[in-house]
Structure 1
């Protein structure tokens, strides 16, 4: 499936997020002048993961959020576990409920 111009813009910004940091759907949407849902829709279809590190995008409240097309509260939770593993491997810590512990890890210094 071809990637749209909008998806390319989202993926370009996501690629700027440094390892060990996260951003939010809201921060991305503010940088793109769009909605968090639109950002989530583009990330849900990310064919370049994990090279385009969509695992570094979390909810504004610090919750882990969805990953690889699976909603945060999906029954299996397999993709959220993978997202947590990737982020923990980069030094980003979440509590037992899947919430970001250190909000100083949130990054939003995008070059648009």
Structure 2
């Protein structure tokens, strides 16, 4: 996927969006895992901020990125919307948590 930069996103955000766009339906990844793939130590928060400003949703499926403990985390459109999107893709959420051993992209 090529990010059309008419939205003038930073190079960092563009890289985050490119990786996030590869997470398939029915799976999730974590902010920390994306940061690690970008060679950023302790970069999970920066990844989260880039995704919060994602102008390409739903093409870049930021709802598929969760916290490292499986908690669904935040979402610019609200956590209820995030839960609804994930559930519609077959991801089971129990007490706001996702079982990463089942749903996390390997």
Structures share a fold, TM > 0.5? Answer: yes
Give me the CA root mean square deviation.
1.3
Scaled by the length of structure 2, the TM-score of the pair is 0.87
Give the ranges of 4+ consecutive aligned residues of structure 1 lying more than 6 Å apart after TM superposition: none
Q: Deviations over 1:16-47 (max 9, x none)?
A: 00110000001100000121011011001101
Q: Deviations over 1:45-89 (max 9, x none)?
A: 101111100000000000000111xxxxxxxxx610000000000
| Structure 2, gaps ≥5 residues long | 1-6
Scaled by the length of structure 1, the TM-score of the pair is 0.82
| Structure 1, gaps ≥5 residues long | 69-77
Aligned positions of 1:1-112 closer than 5 A: 2-34=8-40, 35-68=43-76, 79-95=78-94, 97-101=95-99, 103-108=101-106
